Amino acid sequence: MADYSHLLDDTERGFLDMLSRFAAEEIAPHAAKTDESATFVHSQIAALAATGMMGANLPEAWGGADISAHALFEGVATIAGACASTVSALTAHYLATDSLLIGGDDALRARLLPATAEGRLLGAFGLTEPNAGSDPGDMRTRAQREGDGWRIRGRKCFISNGGVADFIVVYAVTDPAAAHRGISAFVLEKGTAGLVPGRVEQTMGLRGGHVWELDIDCHVPDANRVGAEGTGFRTAMKVLDNGRVEVAAMCVGIARAALTAARDWAKTRIIGGEPLANRQGIRWMLADMETDLAAAELLGHEAARQRHAGQRFTAAASRAKLFASEAAGRIADQAIQIHGGYGYTRDFPLERHARDLRIMRIYEGSSEIQRNIISGLMLA
């Protein structure tokens, strides 16, 4: 596994060293129980607040850690390797705060962002609907002017943190005739009348990072609008570029954990009087896994480089998310294979890694959507 410390300054290296110890001591020991009980990661998120990770995506001006995109990538990977449920709740929080950072005005940012960076507020990102997943253009949630604010009606689904968040950035159609340019974003705060979380989805993986359906029939003041009317789609697409780099980081972190487990098992598991690692077939499997991981890391850090430089990084984010999500799935599967029957048991974390990774090829734009984005930009 490659060392990317040369991309970081001394403060960032110190931050990541601290975070690595914290993840190993405070997050990883609870991962199996969290998965088994499907308990939301309240305590892990509360603990993360003390590390600065809740605001790691934000600049210092809004209370954030003000670290580089490279350091953020490695920080997300570190938490992911310890507990994927925890990192899923964390990165969903980033989607909400990025929405405010990218699309909001200073008044809204000042009201919410410092508290989110301190971990006093948890955010959620309300884009997906039952009939509008990969294409927000099919969105049916409507926002219409009513008095001094807006009446928002609709339903969202698969909203990470949705039932426990202190606020949700909800995207809704304000001008049906304007297609994508008719989408706006609004902050719905916890306790708002008419914001009703439905059931928690019973998911295959990320069982401690819950996703909810949300029924919405709310009035919100105009001050809760995120940016100008009609700018929601543009904000959401920029947020998803960030989010796709973070999904790549999540995949890299889980893949690192799976590969480390497979390498260590191969070196210590004795079959026929010798370690598995002495067998060419196992060595080739490990070599392929390491190559997949190295490529995912490189694509992820290239997207992070472009993000940090302020360049348009849509294609780089899609490449990183596409490759890392599919490569990590291969790595986890091969790690199970190397462990044999033991890898299929819950005595080892590999089956959990495989389940947690499966969603990475679907959410924040499926692999097929990433291929459409990449090819569309190629052919433009």
pLDDT averages per 10-residue partition of the chain, 380 residues: 84 97 98 97 96 97 96 98 98 98 97 98 96 77 96 97 98 94 97 95 97 97 97 96 98 98 97 96 98 98 97 98 98 98 96 98 95 96
The pLDDT assigned to 134 comes to 64
Measure Cα distances from 131 to 172, 174, 252, 265, 370 in Å: 13, 17, 31, 45, 19
Q: 318 and 241 share a domain?
A: yes
Q: 252 and 309 share a domain?
A: yes
Q: 248 and 353 share a domain?
A: yes
Residues whose CB is less than 8 angstroms from the CB of residue 11 and which lie 6 or more positions away in sequence, other chains included:
none
- Tokens 């789609």 sit at which residue? 233
Contact between 213 and 198 (Cβ < 8 Å): yes
Q: 303 and 326 share a domain?
A: yes
The pLDDT assigned to 1 comes to 66
Domain end call among 180, 210, 230: 230
Annotated active-site residue in 12, 246, 326, 364: 364
Measure Cα distances from 366 to 303, 304, 322, 357, 369 in Å: 18, 20, 8, 13, 5
Closest CA to 173 of 214, 224, 123, 132: 132
Measured between alpha carbons, how far is 369 from 380 in angstroms, rounded to an integer? 16
Check if 229 is active-site. no
CA atoms within 13 A on the CB side of 46: 5
Closest CA to 221 of 131, 132, 160, 148: 148
Cα 98–Cα 40–Cα 195 angle in degrees, nearest 5: 60
Q: 242 and 368 share a domain?
A: yes
CATH of the domain at 19: 1.10.540.10
Domain end call among 230, 253, 278: 230
CATH of the domain at 144: 2.40.110.10
Q: 23 and 89 share a domain?
A: yes
**The residue count for the chain:** 380
Exposed/middle/buried for residue 271 (C-beta within 10 Å: 0-12, 13-18, 19+): exposed
Q: 250 and 221 share a domain?
A: no
Q: Identify the bridge partners of residue 189 per DSSP, sorted by sequence position.
A: 167
Q: 375 and 238 share a domain?
A: yes
CATH of the domain at 359: 1.20.140.10
Q: 270 and 368 share a domain?
A: yes
| Structure token pair of residue 172 | 């809704």
Q: At 279, phi and psi to the nearest 5?
A: -95, 130
- Tokens 């994508």 sit at which residue? 180
The pLDDT assigned to 129 comes to 94
Exposed/middle/buried for residue 367 (C-beta within 10 Å: 0-12, 13-18, 19+): middle
Tally of domains within the chain? 3
Q: 298 and 352 share a domain?
A: yes
Q: 222 and 106 share a domain?
A: no
In terms of residue numbers, what domain contains 205? 123-230
Closest CA to 329 of 263, 267, 248: 248
| Structure token pair of residue 357 | 């990774």
Q: 164 and 265 share a domain?
A: no
Q: Does residue 79 sit in helix, strand or coil? A: helix
Domain end call among 93, 118, 143: 118
